[in-house]
Amino acid sequence: MLQVTFIRENFEKAAQGLEKRNIREAQSLLRQVVQLDDERKGIQLQRDQLQAEANSISKSIGQLMRSGNHAEAEKVKSRTAEIKQQTKELETAYSEKELELTQLLYTLPNIPHESVPTGKSAEDNETIFTHGNLPELSESEKLPHWELIKKYDIIDFELGVKISGAGFPVYKGKGARLQRALVNFFLDEAQKAGYMEIQPPILVNEDSGYGTGQLPDKEGQMYFATEDNLYLIPTAEVPITNIYRNEILQEDQLPIKNVGFTPCFRREAGSWGAHVRGLNRLHQFDKVEIVHISRPDKSYAALEEMSTYVQSLLKKLELPYRVLRLCGGDMGFTSALTYDMEVFSAAQERWLEVSSVSNFETYQANRLKLRFRDENKKTNLAHTLNGSALALPRIVAAILENNQHADGIKMPSVLIPYLGFEWIQ
């Protein structure tokens, strides 16, 4: 959530940032924020003045009673009753104005970092790095993963439909072992890189959803357990980052580096077409997530560190990939800067997003009330970051497609100790 003080002190910068996200009414929305804050402060001032008057009257009543002027004291007491009623009304008005301001701030996305390119969609994203040679497959070995999984009977979408519905695959045999191998490989690598493993709940309350910016859920992407008022997580970012909600950390605790493996749930409403076929888009999938809590002056170095780490995983899996800097129109609501990592799918002949690594600066921390105390004993909002390291479905799709041969699918060498086999045949 944007800070009102930031908007006041950097009005033009905030407006330009929102305009980079293609929000045309940016200045109007920011003026509404300032106006609501002025009205809130005006109510606060009235309330403070009444409180000062009440304190003064309380002293005068005591003096009048001690001097024996009881009649005058009773007269003054009647004003005290009026002040109490007026204060109560002002407290209600203040709460209503504060709620109105908060709800407006919830609708405003984060301000993009100055390096974020201008653009409206994925076509305007900036490619900043490419690694590896694109695999070339013969026409006889160019099966998309949704045909490969049937050929080798390792993932069953029809069973998933029977049990749950579309978008809930069942992993079988070597398909299930490949999933487990990838999870263990990602977690082991994260531990080597200094991340502490967390196993969080996969259902979260409303406060957690608001804390990291998934709520209000404008796109209807979250599954909701209505009876218990709990949400199925779309990513481990939500429960792990919320560990630090309403916390004041000590500076020597930073940076905090956590990693967690969870299933993830997304309704993906309105997703149709060949680009979402097979494992390309699911309602339930597995993902290993890294979360970083940082000092503000070190968060962009942390972002580069996270990007380099995710790329190291893709290199070890022998997958060709590229890194994109997302444009203003394609960035997530809460992000200030996002790098996407995409792997090349040889059979589909296109790039598949497998990771997003983002710096949210103070946007989430302001919602979470996540602060740290610096060397001068002053409390400051921390910066939060997170990234996929990695999401499994498209990694599996790329491994299957890129390594297919006439007699089977060769597994990346780094996974063989986890799998116990070299080929899917």
CATH no., domain 122-424: 3.30.930.10
In terms of Cα–Cα distance, which of 288, 213, 287, 297 is closest to 255?
297
For the segment(s) 4-106, the CATH number from 1.10.1060, 1.10.10, 3.40.50, 1.10.287 is 1.10.287
Confidence of residue 373 (pLDDT cuts 50, 70, 90): very high
Measure Cα distances from 412 to 112, 171, 182, 285 in Å: 37, 19, 11, 21
| 403 labeled binding residue | no
Residue 12 class from Cβ within 10 Å (0-12 exposed, 13-18 middle, 19+ buried)?
A: exposed
130 is known to lie in a ligand binding site: no
Residue 97 amino acid letter:
K
Instruction: Please check if 386 is assigned to a binding site.
Output: yes
Structure tokens at 54: 């009440």
- pLDDT of the residue at 190: 98
Query: 353 among the known binding-site residues?
Result: yes
Question: Is-contact 32 23, C-beta < 8 A?
Answer: no
Q: Which of 153, 155, 158, 203 is nearest to 179 (CA)?
A: 155
- pLDDT-above-90 percentage for the chain: 86
Instruction: Tell whether residue 235 is among the known ligand binding residues.
Output: yes
The full set of domain ranges for the chain reads 4-106, 122-424
Q: Is 422 annotated as a binding residue?
A: no
User: Does 413 show up as a binding residue in the annotation?
Assistant: no
Q: 281-309: per-residue pLDDT in tens?
A: 899 999 999 999 999 999 999 999 999 99
Q: Binding site annotation covers 362? A: no
From the list 242, 142, 240, the residue with the least C-alpha distance to 199 is 240
Cβ–Cβ < 8 Å for 211, 327:
no
- Number of helical H runs and strand E runs in the chain: 13, 19
Q: How far apart are CA 366 and CA 398, in angstroms?
A: 38
Note the pLDDT tens digit of each residue in 32-86: 999 999 999 999 999 999 988 888 877 776 666 667 676 666 666 667 778 889 9
- The annotation status of 8 as a binding-site residue, yes or no, is no
Residue 289, marked binder: yes
pLDDT tens digits along 3-47: 999 999 999 999 999 999 999 899 999 999 999 999 999 999 999
Return the closest-CA partner of residue 310 out of 331, 275, 338, 345: 338
The reported pTM is: 0.91
